[in-house]
A and B are shown apart, each in its own frame.
Chain A
Amino acid sequence: MRHWIVYIAILGYAGTAHAQLISPGKLTKSHASLEGVTNCTSCHDLGTRGVSAKKCLDCHTPLNTRIFSGIGYHSTIVSQNCGTCHKEHFGTAFDAIRFDTTSFVHDDAGFTLLSSHAEIGCRDCHTPDNITDEAVIRFKSNAGRLDQTYLGLNPICASCHADSDPHQSQFAGRDCASCHDESKWDTAPEFSHDSARFPLLGKHVEVACVECHTTDRNLAGVDFTLFKPIASGECGDCHADPHSNSFGANCSTCHSENGFRSIKRLAFEKTFDHSATSFDLIGQHATIACGSCHTRGNTESISIRFASGESRKSYPKPIVDDCESCHVDYHRNVFANSPGGAVCSNCHTEDGWAPTTFDLERHNRQSGFQLVGAHAATPCTFCHESAGFAHSGGPFTFEQTDCLTCHENDNVHGSGLLEIANCETCHTEDSWTESIQFDHSVTEFALQGQHLSVSCADCHVSSADTDKSLIIFDAISDSCINCHESDDPHQGQFLEASCGDCHDASSFFVQNFDHDNTSFPLTSAHTEVACQSCHLEEESLLGFFTRFKPLSSRCEDCHR
């Protein structure tokens, strides 16, 4: 009897095992409907080991479709044995989709993981929310395994990343990959700004996107980066105008994208309207190159002092716009005491340093020296430029305005004459040589007779021992021989006497000679005798002359 109790117990145990009669273990939860001895051949073919791939795929239709279409990882699997990877009969909670995620080659799934995609976990993407394939959703939902599958994702970015469209539909209809790569959302390496309405050139290439594409907020209060529409047609849309609209809104007239610190020089210089500044270019200023003034390499004649912080700019601004700001005072400040100060415009205009506006009229009116006569036709520099005033054009002020101040070197008369006379004594301002007026009677040698008719130079001959052609006026002996030695017809016979002793000054007729005053007074017949009877003509080396003395007073010398 006790034996039967044991056997019944064993059979009872067998009864409890009925549910898993020949199964090696319970199926996973999703295959629970296939439990039971009658369902073995739902997956297995009798006489064949393992499971039948065909039977698997008869149920797993989404996968079957992909394999048939050559899509996805499973289409790359050569083995027809699903059980190689997907184990079963390991209990209801068993995970039949388990593999080494670190070594899985995602390329085989038709989606290469790059950059950040390669760094995140599988389930960061493979979540039920990201599954878009309706067939997969339906199939896996029925099995309660939607959170376990890796199928059903769409390779387009928005499939996973559209949950919070950061662009707020600015790029609706465009694939994220057209701008972004997998590295990070912050950058858009695939995006070429050339394809945009506003190609980036020059410095714009270096500017961070956010500098132009600022954060905006939509009506829902969501902040997003505004990419379009963005006002970018005018420079002023992004850039503040440091010129306060002085040059208009079109910065590109002068500037290029290469930076505001550089400008299009030729175009700029050709088109720049300097009158827009406080310094209109007039006269010569309009003809010179910009760099003549706006330069850091100053020349000898131009020394520009620039406003603070301006010196390194392309067109530094002079500290003030007066002449001295740029030009070196050629006159070395000699006009500092002029009325109105040393202002260039007192005498000069932008038409050039010369001629000056200090003309003859102003000279006569404003200076203490009237320019008349030859002075009116004399270049300024004849008076206002001397070696002592090199590079200043001076002197412009004179302690004295007498003739010698300027004409000291013109004095051909030697210093002696100046002791007794000045230039004006004889000369006028019309000419040195013409219209000389001198009253010779004020001298010790008043001109009489023929002397009145001879030219001054006949007597005041040039000195032969000087190269300055001195005309001697002073220290001239008033003896006749002093002037007439060369034309002395007596060949030195009367050196001790004056011509006037015998001759009349006007006609040079022998008017005053009295033979009685000689050592041989004329008496008797001698008074009747012609002079030539006794005073014979002789010839010397100097030519013919009449011999007056010495003559013998003996009778026989004449009366042979």
Chain B
Amino acid sequence: MDVTSLNDSPPFVDLNCLLPPIFLLMANQPSPPSSKYKMALLGLIWVLLAMAPVIPAVDYYVMDLPDRAYSADHELMKPSGLVGHGLGILGSAMMIFGVATYSLRKRSSFLARFGKLSSWLTFHIFLCTLGPFYVTLHTTFRFGGIVSISFWSMVAVVVSGLFGRYVYARIPKSLNGVFKDATSLLSQQQAQLDKLREAYGDSAFLSELEATLLIQNRDGLQMSIPAAVAASIRTPFERRGYRSRVEARTRKLPTGAPMRDALLEQSIRCWNLNRQLLLLKPFQRAFGYWHVFHLPLAIIMFLILFIHVGIAIAFGYGWIF
């Protein structure tokens, strides 16, 4: 059989390239090198922008609250100070702009022609993570009053966004973005096994492989969302262990190196499919919750933000100067 045909699988879409580097750590999907560079550059910009106001004032932020009040930086860095107030306005503006543009792109066909949705999402994530970071600095880590609802809502929106992004990336989808179901995955897995069997013939090795996968699938059907997330985080490490075990096993097979490599890769593909199958149900369930949190909390956040701004203006803090 043609060994190369074993790699003839649907093209892998690396969604991790949309995430800043801090989110890359959470990714468990291999990414193409070019995407990694883009992600690194984007992450670097994010970090530079985030740290720009922090580094000069790190002493202020780590100070005890009463000491902070009498710090020389207080007049600049306090929420109503030139920098502190400015960060609040800038962060809020970034969030408003990031949400508005992405929502419009998603919901309006008018903007559909301007770039891929994934790029807009990257832009949305970029602004709506950096903006909340600035807003957090604006609070000087003091969270009180009605505006704290807005703040914690913002935190929840960001966390849910990141979580949703994480989960979304790990739910198998067809080329048109439609979620696959378990049957589809199982058949895909079965097809993979068939390919192996076709290439190598029925053997004890394949029987062992099939048995292992079936056990994992059975366990995954009852998995809770937190357990699924934990399993997802463990996945890269477990994959590495599995690869080692398969390598050791194939090394004993009476076959040449190309065949052993092909067997190894196909085995890993099967394992990957099996892991997707394992996390499919809980992740789909979790993605459902994401909808509950992300948008409504964003609405609450903005609502109270506007109240907060109104109060600030009422008390004379219309602009940073």
- Chain A residues in the interface with B (C-beta under 8 A): 2-3, 6-7, 10, 13-14, 17-18, 20-26, 40, 44-50, 87, 90-91, 93-95, 98-99
Measured CA separation A197–B152 after assembly (Å): 82
Q: Is the CB of B316 within 8 A of A87?
A: no
New A-B contacts (20) at CB < 8 Å, excluding given A48-B316, A87-B74: A3-B296, A10-B153, A17-B145, A18-B146, A20-B145, A22-B146, A22-B308, A23-B145, A25-B144, A46-B314, A47-B316, A48-B315, A49-B315, A49-B316, A90-B65, A91-B65, A94-B65, A98-B66, A98-B69, A99-B70
Q: Does B135 contact A (CB under 8 A)?
A: no
Closest residue of chain A to B152, judged by CB?
A13
Q: Is the CB of A95 within 8 A of B66?
A: yes
Closest residue of chain B to A45, judged by CB?
B316
Main secondary structure of the interface of A (DSSP, over half): loop
Q: A2-B292, A3-B296 are known contacts. Are A21 and B315 too (CB-CB below 8 A)?
A: no
User: Hey, what's the 0/1 contact readout for B277-321 against A, CB within 8 Å counting as 1?
Assistant: 000000000000100110011001000000010010011110000
**Given the complex, which residues of A lie within 8 Å of B70, measured CB to CB?**
87, 98-99
27 CB-based A-B contacts, threshold 8 Å: A2-B289, A6-B293, A6-B296, A10-B300, A13-B149, A13-B152, A17-B144, A17-B146, A17-B148, A20-B144, A20-B145, A22-B145, A22-B146, A24-B79, A24-B142, A24-B144, A26-B144, A40-B315, A45-B316, A46-B314, A49-B80, A49-B315, A87-B74, A94-B65, A98-B66, A98-B69, A98-B70
Q: How many A-B residue pairs have CB under 8 A?
A: 74
Measured CA separation A98–B66 after assembly (Å): 10
| Min distance, Cβ A260 to any Cβ of chain B, angstroms | 65
Measured CA separation A98–B67 after assembly (Å): 10
| Min distance, Cβ A545 to any Cβ of chain B, angstroms | 162
Most chain A CB atoms below 10 A, which of B144, B153, B314, B317:
B144
A94 touches which of B69, B152, B314 (Cβ 8 Å) = B69
Q: Is the CB of A24 within 8 A of B66?
A: no
What number of B residues sit within 8 Å (CB to CB) of A?
Answer: 28
**Given the complex, which residues of B lie within 8 Å of A45, measured CB to CB?**
316
Measured CA separation A46–B312 after assembly (Å): 10
B315 touches which of A2, A6, A46, A91 (Cβ 8 Å) = A46
**Given the complex, which residues of A lie within 8 Å of B79, measured CB to CB?**
24
Interface residues of B in 136-175 (CB under 8 A from A): 142, 144-149, 152-153
**Given the complex, which residues of A lie within 8 Å of B316, measured CB to CB?**
45-50
Measured CA separation A95–B70 after assembly (Å): 10
| Min distance, Cβ B61 to any Cβ of chain A, angstroms | 15
Measured CA separation A479–B315 after assembly (Å): 173
**Given the complex, which residues of B lie within 8 Å of A94, measured CB to CB?**
65-66, 69
**Given the complex, which residues of B lie within 8 Å of A10, measured CB to CB?**
149, 153, 297, 300
Measured CA separation A98–B292 after assembly (Å): 48
| Min distance, Cβ B302 to any Cβ of chain A, angstroms | 14
Closest residue of chain A to B312, judged by CB?
A22
**Given the complex, which residues of A lie within 8 Å of B80, measured CB to CB?**
49
| Min distance, Cβ B91 to any Cβ of chain A, angstroms | 17
Q: Is the CB of A21 within 8 A of B66?
A: no
Measured CA separation A6–B160 after assembly (Å): 13
Closest residue of chain A to B291, judged by CB?
A3
Closest residue of chain A to B288, judged by CB?
A2
**Given the complex, which residues of B lie within 8 Å of A14, measured CB to CB?**
146, 149
**Given the complex, which residues of B lie within 8 Å of A91, measured CB to CB?**
65-66
Q: Is the CB of A21 within 8 A of B145?
A: yes
Main secondary structure of the interface of B (DSSP, over half): helix
Measured CA separation A220–B283 after assembly (Å): 90
Closest residue of chain A to B149, judged by CB?
A14
Measured CA separation A73–B66 after assembly (Å): 24
Q: List 7 tightest A-B contacts by C-beta distance, closest first.
A: A49-B316, A87-B69, A20-B145, A48-B316, A20-B144, A22-B311, A21-B146
Measured CA separation A26–B144 after assembly (Å): 9
| Min distance, Cβ A85 to any Cβ of chain B, angstroms | 9
**Given the complex, which residues of B lie within 8 Å of A24, measured CB to CB?**
79, 142, 144-145
Measured CA separation A559–B155 after assembly (Å): 213
Q: Is the CB of A90 within 8 A of B66?
A: yes
Closest residue of chain B to A15, judged by CB?
B149
| Min distance, Cβ B265 to any Cβ of chain A, angstroms | 42
Closest residue of chain B to A23, judged by CB?
B145
Measured CA separation A310–B70 after assembly (Å): 77
Closest residue of chain A to B67, judged by CB?
A98
Q: Is the CB of A6 within 8 A of B292?
A: yes
Q: A2-B292, A20-B145 are known contacts. Are A49 and B69 too (CB-CB below 8 A)?
A: no
Closest residue of chain A to B300, judged by CB?
A10
| Min distance, Cβ A229 to any Cβ of chain B, angstroms | 56
**Given the complex, which residues of A lie within 8 Å of B292, measured CB to CB?**
2-3, 6
**Given the complex, which residues of B lie within 8 Å of A13, measured CB to CB?**
149, 152
**Given the complex, which residues of B lie within 8 Å of A17, measured CB to CB?**
144-146, 148-149
Q: Is the CB of A44 within 8 A of B315?
A: yes
**Given the complex, which residues of B lie within 8 Å of A21, measured CB to CB?**
145-146
Most chain B CB atoms below 10 A, which of A18, A24, A91:
A24
| Min distance, Cβ B88 to any Cβ of chain A, angstroms | 12
| Min distance, Cβ B159 to any Cβ of chain A, angstroms | 14
Most chain B CB atoms below 10 A, which of A22, A45, A95:
A22
Measured CA separation A21–B297 after assembly (Å): 19
**Given the complex, which residues of A lie within 8 Å of B317, measured CB to CB?**
49
Measured CA separation A50–B316 after assembly (Å): 8
Measured CA separation A10–B153 after assembly (Å): 8
**Given the complex, which residues of B lie within 8 Å of A49, measured CB to CB?**
80, 315-317
| Min distance, Cβ B174 to any Cβ of chain A, angstroms | 28
**Given the complex, which residues of A lie within 8 Å of B308, measured CB to CB?**
22
Measured CA separation A24–B79 after assembly (Å): 9
| Min distance, Cβ B145 to any Cβ of chain A, angstroms | 4
Closest residue of chain A to B314, judged by CB?
A46
**Given the complex, which residues of B lie within 8 Å of A87, measured CB to CB?**
69-70, 74
| Min distance, Cβ A79 to any Cβ of chain B, angstroms | 13
Measured CA separation A20–B142 after assembly (Å): 12
Measured CA separation A23–B145 after assembly (Å): 6
Interface residues of B in 108-159 (CB under 8 A from A): 142, 144-149, 152-153
| Min distance, Cβ A313 to any Cβ of chain B, angstroms | 73
Closest residue of chain B to A44, judged by CB?
B315
Measured CA separation A231–B5 after assembly (Å): 127
**Given the complex, which residues of A lie within 8 Å of B74, measured CB to CB?**
87
Closest residue of chain B to A47, judged by CB?
B316
Q: Is the CB of B314 within 8 A of A47?
A: yes
| Min distance, Cβ B282 to any Cβ of chain A, angstroms | 16
Measured CA separation A49–B320 after assembly (Å): 11
Measured CA separation A46–B80 after assembly (Å): 15
Measured CA separation A536–B137 after assembly (Å): 188
**Given the complex, which residues of B lie within 8 Å of A98, measured CB to CB?**
66, 69-70
Q: Is the CB of A90 within 8 A of B69?
A: yes
**Given the complex, which residues of A lie within 8 Å of B145, measured CB to CB?**
17, 20-24
**Given the complex, which residues of B lie within 8 Å of A47, measured CB to CB?**
314-316
Measured CA separation A25–B68 after assembly (Å): 14
**Given the complex, which residues of A lie within 8 Å of B293, measured CB to CB?**
6
| Min distance, Cβ A147 to any Cβ of chain B, angstroms | 17
| Min distance, Cβ A103 to any Cβ of chain B, angstroms | 13
Closest residue of chain B to A10, judged by CB?
B300
Measured CA separation A21–B80 after assembly (Å): 17
Measured CA separation A91–B144 after assembly (Å): 11
| Min distance, Cβ B67 to any Cβ of chain A, angstroms | 9
| Min distance, Cβ A169 to any Cβ of chain B, angstroms | 45
**Given the complex, which residues of A lie within 8 Å of B146, measured CB to CB?**
14, 17-18, 20-22
